Every structure is written in structure tokens, then in C-alpha cells.
Chain A
Amino acid sequence: MRQALEGSQAIAQAVSRCRPGVVAAYPITPQTHIVENISKLVADGDLKTELVSVESEFSAASVVLGSACAGSRSYTASSSQGIMLMSEVLYNISGLRVPVVLTCANRAVGAPLSIWNDHQDSMAVRDSGWIQLYCVDNQEAVDTTIQAFRISEETEIPVMVCMDGFILTHTLEVVDIPDQALVDKYLPPFAFKRILDPKQPISIGTLVAPDFFAEVRHSQHQAMLKSEKAIIEADRDWKKLTRRGYGGLLSEKGPKDAKVGVMTLGSIGGTLAEALDTQPPRRKTKLINLRCFRPLPVAAIQKACEGLTDLIVAERAISPGLGGIVGNEIRAALAGMKKAPKVHNVAVGLGGRDVPLETLNDLVDWAKTAPDTSFSVFDAKLDKLPKEDR
């Protein structure tokens, strides 16, 4: 049903359609409205789930790990400092290969304290072994949440659905919340096998000595690589049911023969798509929206970059002392190509800095002269800084 909903409200509805047995979450801006909306659904009797109102994000992640291992579909959500506090458990969930879905309402990580959007939080846990899917708008966030349960349960890899804090979570948009019957058709009941059951007792989380650890990590890595297929299929099957799909791993927009590409993750993709329609750069430019960041879909990225001479990676995170996180990964991913484009890397929109439509043109102009190893915090106003810090 199409309704005008706030992003967080829409996510709560989507989660409820997935019939989670257990939900555990701790409030943090800008994720708070998701927990609040789920609590209200439970209070009104519209969602039958065990809602565990934990005392920290650390426990939120631990509760869903425990409940999934005990055989219930489990969901949690967080942001920023909460994701950091969860990080130890996030590694545990993926290392134990337990299906769980988490919404990350992306927010900057302090200090300095900021409640506004960037991707530093999810990027900080990019090596934790979770599938990471980034959403452009609220409809995609709703649909991706539902897909995430299926992907996670099929691959036994936890999935983090990343949606930009405020920009998506707090924005009212018309979204279609799929009917329960449709979701039931798409998402089979939770059937995780390695569960805690007195009738067939197993031990989960044992001590692994050096003679097995490398094999565990190898198989985890292989499973991650193979999960590309599950991600593509989940999106494809969803499209068959709803006529809405998001390109699986990534999507492209713009002229096929473009020489310049701009790659982004999350809602910036929506802003730049509008810019491409309303104020296209003079040089032919195409947009690449990287939906799936983990696993990093190297083949799909290379294919999308064929024919480009310049690729601008504009990301909402930074690794101080290195530069861009996504940018450097993309450089590595393209290294095997016959004719790899130059990769120009910028961080934009850190800590909630507005990314206006003009950004597209500004970036394309800048890339004309920028050296290909470049990195800059593109929208930093250096005149605000003392000379020695510029």
C-alpha cells in the first residue's frame, strides 16, 4: 500500500512484515524513530514479536545473536556510536555465521560530536564480515530490508542495511509498504539449522586454535564472495513481485558512452541523479551507484567502469592519513583492468554537510585537472581553518 511515511516509520513497517521473532535495539539519533515505531507497533498489537529494550547497543547486538542462535528471526538497528559499541559483537555474529539483519541509520562518528549523516560508522565495521547494502531512497530501504532477511538466511551471513541518517530516516516520502501476503510469499519462515536445541545439543562459539582458524576465515571469505549471487537473486525475485529492483550489486545511470563516471553510495546517488537530469555536466557523465559494498563486487565494478577515462569516487567517509576508504578500494578493484580509468577520490557531505545539486558539475570540472592519486575533503572551506591546518 502506498503511504506517505517517514523513513523510519517505513522501515518499522517493513521489518514488521518480515515477522521477526525477536527485536532488540537501543535508541540513538538518527535511528531512534525506527525503535520507537517498532515499539508502537508492538504496543498496539500490530507486531507480535519479543521486543527486548536493552541497556546498550552492545547488548542489542548480543540479544539478537542469542535469539537467532535459539531459532528466531532477529532484527536490530543502530547508528554511529552505537555501531562502534556493537563492533565486537558484529564480528562475533558474522564469525559464527548467524543470520541477523541490522539497519544502520548512517551518522558521523565523534569526536567532534555530530548527530548528522555520513558513512563513517558503517565504514568502520566494513571488515566485520557483514554484507553491507546502501540505499538511495526510502523505497529502496524498505525493499532492501525485506531482501536482507532473505539474503542473510540464505547465506548465513548477517546483513547491514545502510540508510542515510536524517536524509532518509527523517524524510517523509511516499512509499509502498508491500502487503503481508506478498512478503510471506517472498520470504520463507526462519529456518536456521545450527540452533541451540536440547534435543540435539550443539556447542556454539568454541575455542579455535591455529590449526583451524585460517580455514574458518577462508570459508567465511568464500561465502561472502558467493553471496553476490544471493544478493542479485533476491533483488531480481523482488522485482518480479513488485516491479521494483535496484540493480542487485550496483546500478548505472547516464549515457553508455560517457567517459566520466561518478561513483557514490547511498542517498548522494539520488541527488546526483537529479543533477544529471536537470543540470548535466558538459562532459558526458554517468553515475554508478554502488549498492553492495560488502562483498565488494569487483567484476561488476570493472564492467561498469569499462570505457571510462575518469572515475570520480565521492564518498561520505575518510580514513585520516590515507584518504578515501571506498576510493582506495575501487583503485585496487580496477587495478586488474586492461584500461582502468583514473580514479579521483573525494569525501563530501561529512558530518551532515549538505551536498547540493551543483556538486555533480563541480566534481566533473575538478577531475579535469586533478591528479589521479588525488584525495580531498571536497567541500571543506579552508578559509575557516587557521593557516597551519589548511
Chain B
Amino acid sequence: MNAKHADRLAELRAKFDRPPSWKDDPKEDKERQTIRERQPRFRGLEAGHRACQGCGEALAARLVTEAAGPDVILTNATGCLEVFTTPWPQSAWRVPWMHSLFENSAAIASGVEAAMKAQGKSTKVIAMGGDGGTFDIGFQALSGMLERDHDVLYVCYDNEAYMNTGIQRSGSTPHAAMTTTSPPGKERMGKRHLKKDLLSIIAAHHIPYAASASVAYPRDVTRKVRRALSIEGPTFLLIHCPCPLGWGHDGARTIEVARLAVQTGLFPLVELERGAITGVMPIRDQKPITDYLGLQNRFRHLFAKNDHRAEEEREHLQAIADYNIAIYGLAADGDDPLDSEGADTVHRCAIVP
């Protein structure tokens, strides 16, 4: 970003600046405000919550609420997001929010939506859960909610394990990943089973819109949230959210890790309408899966020297990535501003004059 451009942006930002109360308060030192605080956006999830540094789930939830705006009601399954945002008597939520149990976020949201209908209100309802609360224990309630056609967006923050209880495997944990209940050892190479293809199961409900997204592509996340909320009926969004603690990577590299999951083909970004694929994010340069695995402790055992099992597991994971690319047609033909390189905001900023 050149200096002139930066100045112009700063000038625009000053004009858009957030609440007038800032101007009223001469003590407020703008220099000390964080970048986030200077952003003139609606914030549904405030800073100051207790997530780990670099938590992908916290970032994703912020993006979702930012895109949704203030006229929403959120329901939240038990899990990290619920715990780190609401230690009584504090709450990081600026929108009405409710947590009940681990497995009923979708059912609570169904009830909230039914009440909105009964009262003739148009407030949007967003149900949220981790992958445990969505793929596993809360799946029945979710399936029921989709089948009954509730006007609810369900967002699953997929960090691929039960993080809140200390990194146990879930139906979403990728094959071969290490968790505390799928440790590698003489007889095992991490999780034995495959990651459940939840999106296909969701799409099989023939709901109007289901999509996957990644925190590495924030504009894509917000676009999908807005798209989902513009539709009447049940919609679903699966957001890939690295968890530095559970995946064993540096908290500063969350975005890089998330981006590699997409670039390798391990986490395909797709959109489905009434069960049919209507959009994918093409992959410009497919990265080898080892680029992704190598950054994370949970795959460390796959790099063991002189272990033929490690090699086989790596080949297996590469095959999964290749299969995803083939089945969803993810290989880009030529550069696309919305492909895995173009859609990356960091890169795009660089090409703005």
C-alpha cells in the first residue's frame, strides 16, 4: 500500500468513524485504538473475550455477526465459543444471544424462530455450534430444524475436535489427526476414521443454501452469511476455523494454516443450492498436503522417520485432497479474482494501486 493511498484511506475512515461518543470524549486516545476499534463496522462480538490468541472460531464468529448486523438473535451450543464469550457476569455479545445445552442449538433456534413467526417479527435467527455440537451430538436437532424448514441460518465453526473439553476427536476430526482420544501409538496413527462429509448430508435435506467457508477468506465468509440471511428458509454454513491449541500451531499462523487447508484441497469451499453445487472457490496452485500438515503438531506423527505407516497415511490424505478437487472441480483454469489466491484479501490489498 503506497503512502498516498494510506492517507486517503485514513481520511475516509475518519469520516466514517464509529460512535459520536468518541468525539465527545477528549480523553479517548485514538492512537491507542486497535485497528478493529477503528473499523466503522457493526460489531456483534466485542473484543476482550477469553479465546486463545489466534482462535479461528473467535474470528469467524466476529465475521458472522458483523455480516449479520444488529437485527438478529443468536443461539449457541456449549463449546469454546460459548465459554470464552460469556463468563458471568460478563458477555462479549452485543446482540441477543442464548446458550442452552451442547446438543440443542438448532432446536432452541427453531423455537426462537417459531416465536418470531408467532409475533409477526422479521428478526433473523442464527444458530451456532462447534463441530462436536453439529456433526455429532446436535446433529439430530439440526436435521429436524432443516427438515421443518425453519428460517434459521445454522453456522458450524469447524475446528475439527471437541476443543472446549480438551481436544477430543469428533466426527469432523480429519483422518490420522492426533487428539487426546485418538492418540498415535504402536497400534494407531491418530484418528482411524474419515472426516464426516457433513455438507453433503446437509445438502441432502435439499435446503435452499448450504456452503463451506474458511476464516482465511473473510470476505467470502461475510458474503456467504449475507447470502444465507437473504434467503427465507433453512441455510447452513460450515466455517473452517483453525484452533492453535488443538491443532498445535503458532497462534500467529491461523490464517496461513486455514488458507493451506483450502489450497491443498483438504477443505473445499463450495456452495450448494437445493442439493446442487452452484459455486466453488477454484484452487489456483494446489499445494501439497505436507505444506499444511507440517505446520501442525496434530499431524507430527505423520512425519516420523522410517515409519512406513506415516508415508501411507500421507499418501492417503493426499488422495483425499485430490479426490475433493476432482469431485468438486476445484482446479482453476487460469487466474480468477475469486480463486484461492485472488479471494485472499491480503493479496488483493497488495494489487490495489
Query: Which residues of A approach B to under 8 Å, CB–CB?
Result: 21-22, 24, 49-50, 52-56, 58-59, 62-72, 74, 88-89, 92, 96, 196-198, 201-209, 212
List B56-73 residues whose CB lies under 8 Å from chain A: 70-73
| Contact residues in A for B98 (Cβ distance below 8 Å) | 66, 69, 196, 203-205
Query: Which residues of B approach A to under 8 Å, CB–CB?
Result: 70-73, 75-76, 82-83, 86-89, 91, 93-101, 103-104, 107-112, 114-119, 123, 140-141, 143-144, 147-148
A55 to B112, CA, bound (A): 16
A10 to B93, CA, bound (A): 44
Q: CB within 8 A of B112: which of A66, A88, A201, A212?
A: A66
Q: Give the number of A-B contacts (CB < 8 Å).
A: 156
A62 near B96: Cβ-Cβ < 8 Å: no
A209 near B116: Cβ-Cβ < 8 Å: no
Chain B residue nearest to A95 in the complex (CB): B100
| Contact residues in B for A198 (Cβ distance below 8 Å) | 70-73, 95-96, 123
| Contact residues in A for B112 (Cβ distance below 8 Å) | 66-67, 69-70, 196
B108 near A56: Cβ-Cβ < 8 Å: no
Q: How far is the CB of A145 from chain B (nearest CB, A)?
A: 19
A92 to B100, CA, bound (A): 7
| Contact residues in A for B101 (Cβ distance below 8 Å) | 62, 88-89, 92
A204 to B98, CA, bound (A): 5
A59 near B141: Cβ-Cβ < 8 Å: yes
Q: CB within 8 A of A50: which of B73, B100, B115?
A: B115
B88 near A71: Cβ-Cβ < 8 Å: no
A52 to B149, CA, bound (A): 11
| Contact residues in A for B141 (Cβ distance below 8 Å) | 55-56, 58-59, 62
| Contact residues in A for B107 (Cβ distance below 8 Å) | 54, 58-59, 62-63, 66
Q: CB within 8 A of A59: which of B86, B115, B144?
A: B144
Q: How far is the CB of B119 from chain A (nearest CB, A)?
A: 6
Chain A residue nearest to B108 in the complex (CB): A66
A55 near B86: Cβ-Cβ < 8 Å: no
A207 near B88: Cβ-Cβ < 8 Å: yes
| Contact residues in B for A204 (Cβ distance below 8 Å) | 97-99
A88 to B119, CA, bound (A): 28
The residue among A56, A197, A198 with the most chain B CB atoms within 10 A of its own CB is: A198
A206 near B91: Cβ-Cβ < 8 Å: yes
| Contact residues in B for A49 (Cβ distance below 8 Å) | 118
| Contact residues in B for A71 (Cβ distance below 8 Å) | 115, 119
Q: How far is the CB of B61 from chain A (nearest CB, A)?
A: 13
A56 to B144, CA, bound (A): 9
| Contact residues in A for B111 (Cβ distance below 8 Å) | 22, 24, 52, 62-70, 74
Shortest beta-carbon contacts, A-B, top 10: A66-B111, A55-B144, A62-B107, A70-B115, A63-B111, A205-B99, A206-B86, A21-B118, A203-B91, A66-B108
A59 to B107, CA, bound (A): 5
10 extra interchain contacts, Cβ-Cβ under 8 A, other than A89-B101, A198-B123? Answer: A56-B140, A59-B104, A63-B114, A70-B112, A198-B72, A198-B96, A201-B96, A203-B86, A206-B89, A212-B89
